[in-house]
Amino acid sequence: MYSLQPPLNRQPHCISENVLNSPRLLVTEKIMRAIKEGGFLFPQAKEIDLTHPSLQLNTAIFSKILESCSPQLTHVKLNCSYHLKNWFEVIQNYAHLTSLSLKNWTRPISQEVQCLLDPSLFPNFENLELELLDLCPIGKLKEPLQLLPKCPPLTSLSIGCTLRDLQTFLNNNLQLEHLEFRGALATDQDFEYIAQLSQLESLKILFGYHLSDQTLQKIVNSCSHLKHLSFHQCRLLTQEGFKIISQLPALESVTFDNCKNLTDLELQMTVDNCPELKHLTIKNSKGITSIECISKLSKLESLTLGACPDLSDRELQMIVDGCPHLKHLVLDLHPLSSHSSPKAFPQLESLKLTFPFPELTTILANGQNLKHLEIRIATLSLQEAVAIGNCHQLQRLAIRFIYDATNRGLTDEVVQAMLQNKPELTELDISGTFHPDLSEEALLAAFESCPALEKRTFLAWPDPKKTPFNLSFS
C-alpha cells in the first residue's frame, strides 16, 4: 500500500527486510532517521556508504549509525564535507576495517592517515581512497608516509597529489594492484614512479596532462599484469602512446576520455591487438569518425560512447550484431548522424541514453531482457510509454526530463502504460520537470503494478503551485 504525503508529515519508519539484512548499507536520509528515531539495526552490514548528498551528519549521528551496523565493519565511505571533527575517534573502534574512502576532505589529514596505516590499530587495512576538493593538504602526508615501512602493504589506492611526495609510500607498497591517480599537479617524472608497481592490474589516470608516450612505455613494460586502463585528459599521448596500449593483449577494460590525439587508426590498433576487451569507453574524442571496428570485439560486454561526432546508427547496429555478449550500452550526448533507425537490441540488460532519441520505440521493441533503463527526453509519448511498459524485467527506470517551461511532463495515461506489470522494479526516477497533468490517484494505482518499488525513489511534484509530495510505504 502506498500513500503520498507532504514531506513534513513523515510516516512511521518502514525499512524492508532486504535492506535490514543486507551486507552493504547505503545510508539515505530515510535510513538515518530510522536509526536515529526508530532505533533500527542493520546487524549484517559490514560495508557502509555515507556519501549520499541529502545527509546532514555530525559526530554523534555518525557514531550511532556505525553502532547500528555489524561490529565487524570492514568498509566505510565517508563524505568529509560534514562537520565531523572527531570522526577518527569513532572509526578506530573498528579493528576489522580494511577499506576507507574519504571524499571532499579540505583539512590536513596527516595524523589521521598515520594512525589509519598503523598495523597495531588496523592490521588488515588494504584499501585507501582519498578524493579531495583541495589538493593542498595532501602535501602534509609526506611526513607520516616516511613511517610506512612498518605498515602492511595496501592493494588499492585512490589519491591525488604529486607522486614524488609518495615515493616512500610506493616503495613500500609494491604489491599495489589498483591505483587511481588524479595527476593535475603531476609532472611526467611523477608518473614514472608508477612503473615500480609491477603487480598493478588496474590503473586509472585522471587529469594526466603531462603523461608522455615514453613514460607510458615504461609503465607498460614494467606492469605486465595490467588488465584495466583508464585515461582522462591525457592530452600528450600520440599515436605512439596508443600503440603502446595495444601491446597488452590481455587488456579487458580501457577508457579514453578527452584524449585529443585519439583517432580511428589508434582505435583500430587497440581493437586488433586486444581481443579480450570486455569494457570499452570512448568520450570526447573528436578524432573518432568511425566505430565500425568495435564490432570485431566478440567478447565485449559494455560500451560507452560520448560526444564523438559523425557516428551513424548503422555502425552502432553493426556493433550490437557483432558483439553477442554486449549487455550494457551507454550513449552519452552522442548524436547519431543518419536518419534511419537502428533495430532493437534484444540482448541488452542496461541501456542509458543521455540525449533525446527519435526512435526510442524501435529500440525498446524487443527489450525483454532490459533490467536498467535511463533516458533523457523532452516529452514521453504514449507509444513510447507502452514500449517501456513491455519491458517487464526492469529493475531500475530513470526518465530525466529536459526542463522546458512548456513541458507538461507525464500524464495519467502515460504513467499507467509505462508502469504496467513491473514486478521487479525497485527504483524509479521521473525527475527534471513538473507534472501538472499527473494525478496522485493515477500514480498510486500504477504503483500497484510495482510491488517491489522501495529503493531511492524520487518523484517530482505534480504541480509547482502545490505542496511537493514524497513517496512513503505502509
pLDDT of residue 310: 63
- Compute the distance between CA of residue 241 and CA of residue 280 in angstroms, rounded to an integer: 18
CA dihedral for 302, 377, 454, 84, sign (positive or negative):
positive
Q: Which residues contact 339 (CB under 8 A, 6 or more apart)?
A: none
Half-sphere exposure of 146 (CA within 13 A, CB side): 6
Phi, psi of 157 (to 5 degrees): -145, 135
CA 456 and chain centroid, separation: 15
pLDDT value, residue 212: 93
By three-state DSSP, how is residue 257 classified?
strand
Pairing outcome for strands 24-26 and 2-5: unpaired
As a dihedral over the C-alpha atoms of residue 170, residue 175, residue 180, residue 182, rounded to 10 degrees, the angle is: 10
Nearest CA to 254 out of 242, 265, 239 is that of 242
pTM for this entry: 0.76
Beta-carbon contacts of residue 323 (< 8 Å; ≥ 6 apart): 294, 295, 297, 298, 299, 300, 303
Distance CA 362, CA 365 (A): 5
Sign of CA dihedral 266, 297, 222, 203: positive
pLDDT for residue 171: 59
Cell of 223: 606492469
Which domains are present in the chain?
Answer: 341-474 (3.80.10.10)
> What values do phi and psi take at 384, rounded to 5?
-70, -35
Return the pLDDT at 216: 95
Residue 83 pLDDT: 63
Question: What is the per-residue pLDDT for 273?
Answer: 92
Supply the pLDDT for residue 474. Answer: 32
DSSP structural state of residue 70: -
| Nearest CA among 220, 172, 170 for reference residue 190 | 170
Closest CA to 174 of 157, 159, 191: 157
- List the chain pLDDT tens, one digit each, 474 residues: 444 443 333 344 567 777 888 899 988 888 888 888 878 889 999 999 888 776 778 888 888 999 999 989 988 888 765 567 677 778 888 888 888 877 765 555 556 666 666 667 777 777 766 654 333 333 344 444 444 444 455 677 776 655 555 565 555 666 788 888 877 777 888 888 888 888 899 999 988 899 999 999 999 999 989 999 999 999 999 999 999 998 898 999 999 999 989 999 999 999 999 999 999 999 988 888 888 899 999 999 999 988 776 667 788 888 888 899 999 999 876 555 544 455 667 788 999 987 767 677 877 877 788 999 998 887 888 998 999 999 989 999 988 877 666 667 788 899 899 998 888 888 888 876 677 788 878 878 888 888 887 654 555 444 444 444 444 333
